[in-house]
Amino acid sequence: MFMRNGWVPDAPFSLNVTTISECSSYVYLGREVNMMNDLAPELGRRKRAAWGTYRIIEDVVKKTKNIRLRAHLFNTTVLPTLTYASETWALREQDENAVSVIEGSIERVMLGMTLLTQVRAGIRSSTLRQQSKIRDAAVYAKPSKIRWAGHVMRLNDHRWTRAVSDWTPRNVKRTTGRPPTRWSDFFTKSFKERYDALRVSRTDESHWTTLDRERDK
């Protein structure tokens, strides 16, 4: 099966006289991909997988009175499942909120609380996080993305992974409206905030790809 983007003619695709079926999305290495770069279907899969993982450890969590041990169980099982393949995510604000909602729902179950109880009692999510001691999923995913970017930028064996990351499309006009969030936007924004905080002049700034590539030097 194959996928096509908006720049490919809508025509049948054949290989050795065999017509290849077209699909709108598929799962590769445990991660659902689509040509629209829509993360919602994958987050739905992550939600189901995270709940499935929690159900496996639920009995142990309920019997464990030590809060930090319960948090450790969550951080080493549910959290990696929820953020699996997050290195490749181009997270929008609404996607980060979706991840937080998924984590929060499991967190309430761990604490024996429902959303209705939380709302009626006026308990803030930050208060629940102090009680559960679990790590924030959105924050947890960021170091993984940085490590992966550094790994890709240091590749020098002509792999397509590096080639696609460096590729800048030419002769393609941007569509009207706000441009979609790109995978690299996270690094551009993060380094800009860092430079602004350190008051680094524009002339002394380095591109994020350069810093990742030279991280170990």
Supply the pTM of this predicted model.
Answer: 0.77
Q: What is the DSSP letter of 2?
A: B
Give the residue from 108, 57, 62 showing the smallest Cα distance to 80. 57
CB atoms within 10 A of CB 32: 18
pLDDT value of position 215: 55
Does the structure show a pLDDT above 70 at 122? yes
pLDDT value of position 194: 63
Cα 17 vs. chain centroid, distance in angstroms?
39
Tokens in use for 203?
């002339």
- Residues 146-174 have a mean pLDDT of 73
**Domain spans of the chain?**
1-36, 39-137
Which pLDDT tens digit goes with each residue over 7-65? 677 778 888 888 888 888 889 889 998 888 888 999 999 999 999 999 999 999 999 99
Band of the pLDDT at 2, cuts 50, 70, 90? confident
